[in-house]
Amino acid sequence: MSRKFFVTAAVALTATWSSGLAAEVISQSPGEFAIRLEQELEQNSASVYRGLASLPEWWNPAHSYSGSAGNLSMELRAGGCFCERWDQASVEHLRVIYALPEREVRLSGGLGPLQSMPVSGLMQWRIVPQGDKSLLTWEYRVWGSSANKLDAIAEPVNSVLAEQFRALKVYLEKGGEG
């Protein structure tokens, strides 16, 4: 996946978020960016947590190396891999570094073109129970050398993650069924 891939995705996703999703780049500079996406979901925290691990069901295959979301997997435990495997190839997209059932998942690594850059990334999913509903906050912070010009890709990355967040919401609304 290239920078062009993220820019193309951003252009395709410039529509207004009518779903109530708050998706914003909260900071950016040549050497870092931080993104926050947040939305109240109709599902309880246990359902949202299970849904996060079901990413082959909701992840857009256009944002994979193999072109098939069915090649994606993730085990929600420390050391678990958000991985993609096909034929003889494989990619570790992110590594799970913290998993607290029904509350929070933290992952480290760089998605897409970030993986080939000398950067560090921290993705965090926080689930706050709100009765039978929940509030899901998805943050992604990436930092590295200012030579990476990360500010140029912050908004495209935000758009791609917003697309994934909306797909997760739709998946959960269908009862966690693809």
- CATH architecture, domain 29-173: 2-Layer Sandwich (3.30)
Does residue 90 carry a pLDDT above 60?
A: yes
Q: What is the mean pLDDT of residues 31-38?
A: 98
**What does R_g of the chain's alpha carbons equal in angstroms?**
15
53 pLDDT exceeds 70? yes
pLDDT confidence band for 175 (50 / 70 / 90): confident
Q: Quick one: tokens of 178? A: 């693809």
The single-letter code of the amino acid at 15 is A
Asked whether residue 3 carries a pLDDT value surpassing 70, the answer given is no
At residue 19, the pLDDT reads 63
The Cβ of residue 60 has, within 10 Å, a number of other Cβ atoms equal to 13
For residues 118-140, average pLDDT: 97
Percent of the chain, pLDDT > 90? 83
60: closest CA among 154, 160, 176, 159?
160
Look at residue 17 and tell me whether its pLDDT is greater than 50: no
Residue 174 has pLDDT above 50, yes or no: yes
At 14 the pLDDT is 36
Closest by CA to 158, choosing from 176, 135, 142, is 142
Other residues' Cβ atoms within 10 Å of the Cβ of residue 104: 16
pLDDT tens digit sequence for 63-81: 999 999 999 999 999 999 9
Cα–Cα–Cα angle for 75, 61, 25, nearest 5°? 80
**Is residue 156 within 8 Å of residue 11, measured between CB atoms?**
no
The alpha-helical segments, DSSP class H, found in the chain are: 3-12, 45-53, 55-58, 154-173
Report the alpha-carbon distance of residue 3 to residue 155 in Å, rounded.
Answer: 11
Q: CA 141 to CA 153: how far, in whole Å?
A: 12
Higher pLDDT: 18 or 127? It is 127
Residue 112: per-residue pLDDT: 87
pTM of the model: 0.86
CB neighbour class for 153 (10 Å; exposed up to 12, middle 13-18, buried from 19): buried
